[in-house]
Chains A and B, each alone.
Chain A
Amino acid sequence: MNVVITPVMIGQVIISGILVGTLYSMVALGLALIFGVMRVINVAHGPLLMLGAYATYFLYSAFGLNPYLTVPITMLLLFVVGVVLQRTLVFRVVGAPELASLLLTFGISIALVNLAQLAFTSDLRAVEYLTGSYIVGPFAFSKSRLIAFVFAAAVSGLAFLFLQRTKLGKAIRATSQSREVAMVCGIDVDRIHLFTFGLATALAAAGGALIAVIVAIQPEMGGVWTFKSFLVIVLGGAGNYPGALLGGMLLGLVEQLASLFLTTQLSEVVAYLLLVLVLLVRPTGLFGGRQT
């Protein structure tokens, strides 16, 4: 009944895994930033990604914008949404016990999903812009996924450079290492928090914008991205930004290979078993713990 696995098939799923893994990396980097800087696990990360997807959908369908041109616009819009959320709600739970932040962001997430259902209805929407694939020898490179890969790699790379090189980026990392010391050094920690939440939301939004071209979207699409991002930052080591990038890639590959060698049903099991295993054996993550 089942097919013999050939090297070509393995090659194909590795391609798929890397393409989707880069998206995981970018989205998870946002979650890692918020967690690193504020010790807040942002359950609303996925629903914010969903808002990004809808932003792109409406810019595309109402204004006829090229969906890839909408990526920066969507990121900017959601950056503002992130800043507003931080300014009005999330700042209240920074420094509070982690359960408080979980409850708050869980509440935000439910509110966002339900508001989206009211505003956009639960009907599927699709940005039918780029379908099909480039065929190279025996391998198929999905066009929309390939472009998403390029965008995600570029955005993650820029975000990473920003964290490494710029003054603001260094301030973010400093705050992530120690809030008190950062304050003593004259860093405006509240402003850093504001900016970090905005940036993280923009990263989620970029993911949403790119996903909208790949699959059909609906208001409940975000939940699974919260879980995947969480899985990625645990794999990569919470608060470890390069780790988040590698973790995303790893998750993409593990999922795809597990679906190939086992079944699609078991691939999620494998991904979460990996999570349990990492927590047991190397609780600081595969690529080390908090280091910046």
Chain B
Amino acid sequence: MRLRGLVALVWAAAVFGASLPVDAQAPGPIRIGASLSLTGTYAKLGNYQHEGYKLCAKQVNDKGGLLGRKVEFVVYDDQSTPATGVRLYEKLITEDKVDAVVGPYSSPITEAVANVTEKYKKVMVTPLAATTSIFKRPPDKKRHYIFMVISPAEVYLEGLIDMAAKRGLKTVAIVNEDTLFSKAAASGAADLAKKKGMQVVFQEGYPKGNQDFSALLTKIRAANPDVLAASTYFDDAVAITRQMKELNLNPKMYGITVGGDLPEFYDLLKQNAEYIYGATQWEATLPYPGNKEFAEAYTKEFGREPVYHSAAGYAGCVIYLDAVKRAGTLDADRVREVLLRLETKTAFGDFNVDQDGFQVAHKMVMTQWQGGKKVIVWPDDLAQAKPRFPMPAWNQR
């Protein structure tokens, strides 16, 4: 009895004795702050991004952490408003004294909080800001510490234009919601079309929330373009598609920026979604390193499949932590140096930025609905199938 007790004591002392000094030496976890849109307009997408961050932290910790420390996220809800985001980043940096920050959801909120993170010289990798003007700024207003992860708005429709040009199509009509992102995507498409020798025969914006496209589409029908490029969000993409059918508007190709890749798009439009091209930053089926594993781990962890917002959030976190690891320190200036030179490929695809932190390597892909399935059709090296071309007339299906 006594002997066994003694053995137990010795054993316990050995275990604790061995571990105690290590605990005493190890500093606390690396705390990374962010505000995310967990409620409000962007809630759906902000939550996907949050899950991306969470999975990234979990995986790093499972592998022993970073610089010998655990990684821990401090996340607040900015209710999808830029002003709240600004307040929260101030709080994270000055009150919570987090070791690092990563970006919020959406361009407007990123644009607002970037002023705070710049003021305190904090490196911020911003996984879900696609607006060029956040990064490309006049010389006296340059930002030095923010880094873009996703492709900019201007290249959303590059795939559509490229496929059209390769098939010898000559004319394109462009419509866009009259807001920051959609306008940028539309003007990007127009520039690309002209560069490829195509003619933009019609271009017009429409107000946010518009549901009646009859007159607009009547004009497009008269212009009779080979390609219709629509720079949309989700609701308007659905309305335009339905009214194209109503007016029997039949371009040879029809592509949209946002919404066309979502499963809900097909749920709502059923077989009318066939042949429609959608642009996306990422798909679970893309052959990027670790992508399959990411999608599986994500589905296991959260019980739902990731969308590109999840993958971008995940990749943003991975890239930042990778840069810290390479720099061997959390020091903002040294991490910045690493990020500016970093050329890497994550589950989300390529990452490489120019001197403004502007993303230059990441590639968009175009999908098309084929027989109820979303299939990647562009670029050629990633395509899973040939695009079904041309789009048959609505009344001949």
Contacts and interface: CB of A to CB of B under 8 A. Distances in A.
Nearest to A142: B246
Given A131-B242, A133-B246, A264 B264 contact: no
A154 to B, nearest CB: 21
Given A145-B246, A216-B238, A264-B207, A124 B219 contact: no
Interface string B199-232: 0111111110111111110110011000000000
Interface in B236-260: 238-239, 242-243, 245-248
A83 B239 CA distance: 33
A88 interface: no
Nearest to A133: B246
A216 B245 contact: no
A128 B103 CA distance: 39
A13 B247 contact: no
Q: Which of A13, A123, A140, A144 has the most CB of B within 10 A?
A: A140
Contacts of B216: 259, 263-264
Nearest to B215: A259
A60 to B, nearest CB: 14
A128 to B, nearest CB: 5
A263 B209 contact: no
Given A9-B218, A142-B246, A264-B216, A3 B268 contact: no
Contacts of B235: 124, 216, 218
B178 A265 contact: yes
B215 A1 contact: no
Nearest to B247: A140
A83 to B, nearest CB: 30
Nearest to B223: A3
A115 interface: no
A256 interface: yes
Interface residues of B, number: 38
A6 interface: yes
Contact of B245 (A125, A133, A263): A133
B211 A215 contact: yes
A215 B210 CA distance: 11
Interface string A97-118: 0000000000000000000000
A13 B264 contact: no
A284 interface: no
A132 B395 contact: yes
B272 A124 contact: no
Contacts of B219: 2-3, 9, 260
A124 B267 CA distance: 10
Interface in A1-41: 1-6, 8-9, 12-13, 16, 20
A126 interface: yes
B394 interface: yes
B269 interface: yes
Nearest to B222: A3
Given A13-B218, A133-B248, A135-B395, A264 B268 contact: no
Given A6-B222, A12-B218, A124-B268, A132 B245 contact: yes
A263 B222 contact: no
B215 A267 contact: yes
A145, A257, A265 — which one has the most chain B CB atoms within 10 A of its CB? A265
A267 B201 CA distance: 21
B276 to A, nearest CB: 14
Contact of A9 (B222, B246, B270): B222
B234 interface: yes
Given A6-B222, A13-B214, A16-B214, A263 B238 contact: no
Chain B CB within 10 Å, residue with most, of A123, A218, A259, A263: A259
Contacts of B203: 1
Contacts of A124: 234-235, 238, 264, 268
B157 to A, nearest CB: 18
What bracket does the count of chain A residues touching chain B fall in?
A: 35 or more
Interface string A261-292: 00111011000000000000000000000000
Interface in B172-206: 178, 200-206
B247 A133 contact: yes
Contacts of A1: 200-203
Given A224-B209, A255-B212, A132 B246 contact: yes
A265 B207 contact: yes
A260 B218 contact: yes
B222 A268 contact: no
Contacts of B395: 132-133, 135
A267 B207 CA distance: 10
A206 to B, nearest CB: 18
Nearest to A13: B215
Contacts of A215: 211, 238-239, 242
* Residue with the greatest number of chain B CB neighbours at <10 A, chosen from A8, A12, A20, A125: A12
A131 B247 CA distance: 10
Nearest to B216: A264
A124 B270 CA distance: 14
Contacts of A260: 215, 218-219
Contact of B248 (A8, A135, A144, A218): A135
Interface in A122-171: 123-126, 128, 131-133, 135, 140, 142-145
Interface in A160-219: 214-216, 218
Given A124-B238, A265-B207, A131 B248 contact: no
Nearest to B199: A1
Contacts of B202: 1-3
Given A9-B218, A264-B213, A128 B270 contact: yes
Given A12-B218, A125-B268, A216-B235, 8 more contacts: A2-B202, A5-B222, A133-B245, A215-B242, A218-B235, A256-B214, A259-B216, A264-B204
22 contacts: A3-B223, A6-B222, A12-B214, A12-B218, A12-B247, A13-B215, A13-B218, A16-B214, A20-B214, A126-B268, A126-B269, A131-B246, A133-B246, A142-B243, A142-B247, A216-B242, A224-B209, A224-B211, A257-B215, A264-B215, A265-B207, A267-B215
Closest 8 pairs between A and B when the two form their complex, measured CB to CB = A259-B215, A142-B246, A16-B214, A264-B206, A126-B268, A260-B215, A3-B223, A3-B222
